[in-house]
Every structure is written in C-alpha cells, then in structure tokens.
Structure 1
Amino acid sequence: MPHTSPIDDLPADVPDQRPVQAPAAGSSLSFATAGDRHRYRIVGGQPLFGSVEVSGAKNSVTKLLVATLLTDEPCTLARVPRIVEVDVVLGMLAELGAEVEWLDDHRVRIQTARITDPSLSEMYSGVNRIPILMMGPLLHRVGEAVVPLPGGCRIGKRPVDFHLTGLRAMGAEIVEQLRSVQVKTLGLHGAHVELPFPSVGATENLLLAAVRAKGTTVISNAAVEPEVIDLILFLQQMGALVDVEVDRTIVVQGVERLHGADHTAIPDRIEVASFAAAAVATDGRVDVRGARQEHVATFLNHLRRIGGEFRVTDDGITFYKDRELTATHVQTDVHPGYMTDWQQPLVVLLTQAQGASVVHETIYEDRFGYTRQLNAMGASIALSTNCLGGKACRFAARDFEHSAVVSGPTPLVGGDLEIPDLRAGFAYVLAALVAGGASTISGTRFLERGYEDPVGKLRSIGAMIETIPVAGPTQSGAAV
C-alpha cells in the first residue's frame, strides 16, 4: 500500500576533518520539531548581475552516498554540496557503521568496513526518501535490514510499492510495519521488473539491489534522468556491469563484489534553472559556472520561447532576458521532458509574461499549493483539475488541481511568505526579488535542505537579501 510522510529538516552542520556522528535519539536535533534558524528579508526590484558556481546535485549525491554501502572499501565523492540533506544522509551512514571524513569543503571520504547495525533508527522516519534505498546494499552486506518509511515534501503521494514489488521479485522477504519496512533474504537474484511509471527512486533502488544480485536484472520503463545515469557511472567505476538500452530499458549483470571508487557528482540542474530564472525575471545577467547544457536542454528551449536567452561558455552558461516575456504552454514530464522541479521558478517568470500561460503538472498531483501565496503578492494564477493544454495524464478526472493558468504580466508586491516545500522555496525567493518593496520569508529550512548557501550566492550577484535570526526552536506552520 502507498505510504507518505512529512519531512522536517535537521539544522545541523557536519564539522570538517572530523568523523560524522549519527544524531543521538532524543537529542535537541529532533527531526519532528526542528525549526528555522533564520528568516530572509528581501528587497526586490534589483537586477542581478554577476557569477555563481553551481553546486553538486542533491538528487545525485545523496544516492551516491548510499551506493558506498555496497563495498567495504573507501569511496571518495567530490562536488558534494554542504546542505542539510547531505548532512542527514551522512548521519544515517554513520549510524550503520560508516566512517566519514571531509577531505575539503566539497570532498568527502566514506568507508563502511563493517555494518554495525542493519536497523536504521525510526528517528529518520519521514525525514526523506533515502532510507528505502538502503535496503539492497544492506541485504547484500548482511542479509537483513530495517529501514524507516520515506518522506519528502508534501507535493503529492510518493508510494513505495514500486520499490517493494521489485525487491520481492528479486528474492527479498518484506514485512511492512507502521513506520518501517523489515527485509530479509538468503540472497538476491536477477529478475525482470517492469515499472508502471518511470520512477526515479524505484529505478535507483532496483539498480542498487541488482548490481550484486546473482544473475541478470532487467528494468523496463526505467527512469533515465541525469541523476540516474550519474549513479550508474559511479556503480560502473565500482565494478558493476550496467547497460542502458533503448526504450527505457536498463540491464544489470550482477557481480559478486564491488570495490571502492572516486567520483565527481554532476552539477545540480535544478539550481542552474533557478538562477537562470532569477537572471531573466530581474532583467539581469548571471553566469552560472559549471552548468552543463545537456542537462538543461529542455529548460533552455522553454526559456528561449518566453523571451529568455542564454550563451554557453567554456565555464558554464550565461543567462539574460532577450525581449519582453510572452506566454507559453508547458507540461512537466519525466526526462527528457520538462522537469517537475523546474516548474516553480517558471511559474514566477510567467507572472511577468504577456498573455495567459498554461502549466500542466503530470509528475505530482498536488504541486501547485504554493501559488496561493503568489496570488496574495499580486499574481493571477488559476488552478484546474483538468489536463489543460496537452494530452491527458494519469491525474485526469481524479479531482487534483494539477494544471495552472498564469495570466500576466502582473506586478508583484512584497509580503510575508511561508515556504511549504523545498522547490517552492526558491520560487518565493524569486518572487520576492521581482516584487516591489520588502518581503519576509519563513520556512527557510526547507530551502536550505537542497540549496547550498543561497543567501551568499544571491548576495554575490546583487540581491538585497539578509537573514533575520530566529530565537530558539520554532514550530513552523508550513505544510511539509
């Protein structure tokens, strides 16, 4: 049965050059009660000019960290962002027995010579979706595991039934409990698994289980996002045999043992799109160093259609506005379609475009809740349960507000905003940068879960943004 659970992030920093310790149960760093360390105050109306360095991709790095459990040898990962989500995953690994050492600001060494306990604390229940990906590696290492059920931002259900069905087909015995999953095996074997939907998480889970399974595993209708390919490349360096074939088919020939490896994570294509949107929305010009065109090609096409422009350089991609923005139609989809995490900054851009734009969300059924606060700032965004402007999707006739009509241009005015989830967080920052007057943004812990030093990077390109400390633990009213 599907499960979903909220997330509250841990506002902790991992110290350099020292082993990472798992947070103690019952400590003040409680996942259930952690609040903001600060709010943002932003004065809008300033064009952004300058250069920022894109960080490593959160959605890749966290899975690469899990993959290190597949070997007892040391692995070194580079371009690792210093964000809350990485800190939390390193805490999980430490609890399982990993030794973690930061070699410099963005390079980390992990070695799990021995699994000390295959049961991950229920403290991590609902924190993120990473624990469910640890089942395969733990089954290969010790034949059993108990992991908390996953959580994530409340942007729609994220069921784990795809994951569990595939693992059962590979020989795992699974008992689902209220807040956790218990798995055992005498040995995983290859299987043919056809995913009902090209789920990124399920594809990654099956990959992590298949690389050391006996025999051959075929994953049909698999996800092929850049983050999935990055995981495959790391596994290949560790000694895995993985072929990505046509028609979304991934074939894995299991090997008996994997070894340590060094790998540099891909840049974060969501962060690239975020700063691109900020450059165009404020009528500025921003160089995003490290951005890779092939990872954002679909985004670039849509940006150009509405009036944004870009120039690929030796160092990355430069973004700016070429003409007055005009309306468009966008439908989110699995890769190589328009990424669902690019949707939110685009919607803010479209509030400044001439005409009525249509955005059809086909990945998550409940991802437009953040638009209500944009409307309070002066936007004109109407939600619909219909599949507007494109082909019918799996949410058709299911009473989900998964299409939006954005009419513009509308001037935005500053206000008090409460971030409801990670990706909406940058949309609110962008709206505040565009708006006249000052805005105060709470719920910043959600943004900092996935963006490295957002305040510092924005300041470096001319944003008028400051942090306001929050005294003591807070209970945010943000939906998560």
Structure 2
Amino acid sequence: MEQYIIKGGKALQGEVSIGGAKNAALGILAAAIMTDETVTIENLPDIRDIHVLLEAIEEIGAAVERVDKHTVKINGKNIKSINIDYEFIRKIRASYYLLGALLGKYNRAQVALPGGCNIGSRPIDQHIKGFEALGASVKIEHGMIQAEAKELKGSHIYLDVASVGATINIMLAACRANGQTIIENAAKEPHIVDVANFLNSMGANIKGAGTDVIRIKGVSKLSGSEYNIIPDQIEAGTFMLAAAATKGNVLIKNVIPKHLEAITAKLVEIGVTVEEFDDAVRVIATEKLGHTHIKTLPYPGFPTDMQPQITAVLAASEGTSIVTETIYENRFKYVDELSRMGANIKVEGNTAIIVGVESITGAIVSAPDLRAGAALVIAGLVAEGFTIVEQVEYIERGYEDFERKMQGLGASMAKIDIEDEKAVQKFKLRVS
C-alpha cells in the first residue's frame, strides 16, 4: 500500500500535459471488440481502470497488444466467451460497457455487476430499459447481468435521466441492431461524442452525439480503425484548480478549452485569470480567491467529477460559498477529511456550505474515492505543514503519474510505501 506525502505552501509553476480521457477510453475499449478486424487506439491513459478493462478483454479471448503505454491494438475476432465474471472487473464501473458491446456483436452477454467508487447510487435501470427496447431480455442473477436477444431491432428510446453510461451502452448495442434507433434525452458529455466518433470510424452510422437526440442506423458489421482519444477534461480541470489554489501560474497543454468552460467560468468568478489557446489554457492566480455558488449539472454544466476539487479550493478562499450536488447523493464523504485540515464546511442534504478560512493545516487524511482523493491532494498543496493522503489507489484509478506531474510543477510531493517510516522522515528532511 502506498500514500502521498505533501509539504504545502509552494505555488505551482510551469507546464503540464494532459492525458487521454478516462471515461472516453473505457467506452472506446469496449467498442473495439465489436469488430473482427484490428483496432489501434492512441492517447490511452496509463491508469488502473484501463489496465483492468484490457485484462478483462484479453481474458475473453480478444487479442490485446500494448504497443506502448499510451497505444494499444485490439482484435476481437477470437472472442471465446460472452461471460465476463473476471476477478477484478467488478471493481470498475465501466465493466457494463462490455454488456452493450457483446450484446451488439453476439446478441447475448453476461457481465458481473459493476463496482467503482462509492459516491452514491448509480442504478442501471436506464441501461436495461434501452436493451429491452432493442428486443433483448435482461435479468440479474447471482451478481451477473444477463442480456439476450434473437435479434436486436432499432427502437425509439426516451431516457428518464440523461445517463452517460446508459447513452453509451445503448449506442454500442444499437449500432449493430436492424433499423434505426433514436435515443432522446441522451447525455451530451464530450466522451459520448468521442465514443460515437470512434464507432463511426469503424463504420457505424451515428448522428447527433453531443445533443439530446442521437440517431443510429444499424450496420451489419464494423471494421478496423485507428483512433486518438480526446484529452481528459477532469484531469485538466484538476490541474487548473490546483494552480489556482496554490496561487500558481501553470500552462495546461493538450486540452480542448471548450470542454473546460464551466470550470473556467467559476475560476474567473473567484478571481483567477484564465487564458485560452487553441489546445491549452494558462491559469494564473495572484490574489486571495473569492467565493461562489456552484450546482453540479450534466454537461455543459459544472461537472460532478470536479465538485470535490473546487470545494477544496473554496475551503481556503474568502467568504461563504455554497456547493450543491445534484448527481450523486454520497459525494460529500470527503468533507470530514477536509475538516481534519481545518476547513469550515457544513453539509446539509445535497448542499455544502463552505466558510472560507485564512489557512488550512496538514493532517493525515484518507481518500474515500477518486475525485475526493484529488481534492485532498489540492488541499495538501495549500496547507501549512505536511499532509499524508492514504488510499491513493483510488486516485490512481483516474490520474496518470499524478505525483510526478505535480512534482514537475514544483510541488513538494512524493509517493511512499505506507509502512516505510524512514521514507517519511527522508522526505521531511529533504523538503525542509
């Protein structure tokens, strides 16, 4: 087991390059097995969730060749099983994309119920509704989701909520169904557009991705492709907030600025300067940051995956801020950890009332989930003294080389073995 140790108080300076989008990559990897030809995927993030999904894909018989840490070749010609009860697959939420991919290709699939971060209820009823509308029978038995159809047929599907996972899963199955499928109230996140573009590069016929109505004409087969995954807006946003919190000056490269507009708007509102370029943004903060009100919403609103990080920033800003979470009900579990660092935050239902404090102090804290872990790192970078962040395996599910990228910006931060007391002392001596 490993942990991060951080000495706060240094302004981040320099440049950082953002990797491929985790949420797009997971959907694209699942889609890659839907053809019998070789698919090459580039700009793949080198993170734990990706490794687990690739192992699961390989386990069912697909050929997986890691060209390098960011490029993979996949060939699904020799898939021998549509039953995915792989040991680790239940630990990642995106395992359910294999259900839509296998159902679309073989008209049947059986996949272990997904896991992932414990940030609240994330039901799969909209996925099931979509599969059943396409003609599949779906049941859940012994911790497995089973879907089967004699034939998938296009259908008109209205999602009760704009679910990202359901939108992608239905797209995967529908692109091989007979006839036209229309998904209404579809989610509009950038990674949905990326998955649709990837499927289209393989010969699918999908229009409207990125709007609330997606139209899909089923095709008889999909072909090989080469594809480059979009940059990760959440990784980019995390570094933007880290730069702002530490009063830094950071150029964040390999981004799509339009995907970051909701984050940029809130940073500007609290007194941060954000300069936009074609594929980069520069974040500059020189004064004490102010307060704001935030409500998480589906894209293009403020992302729920950025809610913990901005709460950490506001905890050490001036004034009273209110953050309302509308997506997941358990996403404030990290607040107790921030309180250990001196933050003044009161949670009432789905709302956090944040009274900014003059300073926060280092403490031993534990990451309850992926994005909350990133928030605790941001807090540690700002805090007086030393912070230890435990359970960094959550953070590494979604951030590649997180501590190295922070070190590259001048952060006093290291990853050490949790049982290595000498490493803690060495770090403290070195940075002091």
TM-score by length of 1: 0.85
Relative distance call for 1:122 and 1:263 in structure 2 (3 A) is: closer
Contact 1:379/1:410, CA 8 A, preserved across alignment: no
Q: Which portions of structure 1, spanning 4 or more consecutive aligned residues, are displaced by more than 4 angstroms?
A: none
Letter in 1 for 2:303: M
The yes-or-no answer on 1:446 pairing with 2:404 is: no
Contact 1:124/1:148, CA 8 A, preserved across alignment: no
Aligned to 1:164: 128
Unmatched tracts of structure 2, length 5 or more: 421-432
Aligned to 1:408: 356
Summarize deviations over 1:402-452 as a string: whole Å, max 9, x none.
100111133110000111100001100000000000011110000001100
Letter in 1 for 2:305: D
Aligned to 2:292: 328
Alignment partner of 2:413 out of 454, 457, 465: 465
The yes-or-no answer on 1:426 pairing with 2:388 is: no
Mapped partners of 1:124, 1:216: distance in 2:
35
Summarize deviations over 1:31-82 as a string: whole Å, max 9, x none.
xxxxx3x111111011111111101010110110000111010111111111
Mapped partners of 1:357, 1:139: distance in 2:
46
Aligned to 1:145: 109
Letter in 2 for 1:316: A
Relative distance call for 1:246 and 1:271 in structure 2 (3 A) is: closer
Q: Matched residue of 2:93: which SS?
A: coil
Aligned to 2:212: 248
Structure 1 residue 139: Cα displacement: 2.3
Aligned to 2:312: 348
Mapped partners of 1:231, 1:125: distance in 2:
20
Aligned to 1:338: 302
Mapped partners of 1:322, 1:291: distance in 2:
23
Aligned to 2:327: 363
Letter in 2 for 1:469: D
Structure 1 residue 315: Cα displacement: 4.9
Relative distance call for 1:127 and 1:245 in structure 2 (3 A) is: closer
Letter in 1 for 2:363: G
Contact 1:125/1:179, CA 8 A, preserved across alignment: no
Mapped partners of 1:272, 1:371: distance in 2:
23
| Number of residue equivalences | 420
Structure 1 residue 298: Cα displacement: 1.1
Structure 1 residue 322: Cα displacement: 5.0
Summarize deviations over 1:105-154 as a string: whole Å, max 9, x none.
31111111122111112524631122221123212333322100011211
Percent of pairs identical after alignment?
A: 37
Contact 1:155/1:365, CA 8 A, preserved across alignment: yes
Contact 2:174/2:216, CA 8 A, preserved across alignment: yes
Alignment partner of 1:51 out of 15, 24, 32: 15
Task: Map 1:113-192 to 2 at 5 A.
Answer: 113-124=77-88, 126-192=90-156
Unmatched tracts of structure 1, length 5 or more: 1-35, 386-401, 473-480
Relative distance call for 1:222 and 1:314 in structure 2 (3 A) is: closer
Contact 1:276/1:320, CA 8 A, preserved across alignment: no
Relative distance call for 1:377 and 1:61 in structure 2 (3 A) is: same
Higher helix share: 2
Relative distance call for 1:246 and 1:345 in structure 2 (3 A) is: closer
Structure 1 residue 378: Cα displacement: 0.5
Alignment partner of 2:229 out of 258, 265, 287: 265
Letter in 1 for 2:113: L
Mapped partners of 2:210, 2:391: distance in 1:
42
Aligned to 2:281: 317
Mapped partners of 1:183, 1:227: distance in 2:
25
The yes-or-no answer on 1:216 pairing with 2:180 is: yes
Letter in 1 for 2:159: L
Structure 1 residue 310: Cα displacement: 1.2
Mapped partners of 1:415, 1:258: distance in 2:
53
Alignment partner of 1:194 out of 136, 141, 158: 158
Higher mean C-alpha deviation, range 407-416 or range 439-448: 407-416
Kindly report the root-mean-square deviation, in angstroms, between the aligned alpha carbons of the 2 structures: 1.5
Alignment partner of 1:288 out of 237, 244, 252: 252
Task: Map 1:56-135 to 2 at 5 A.
Answer: 56-124=20-88, 126-135=90-99
Contact 2:63/2:78, CA 8 A, preserved across alignment: no
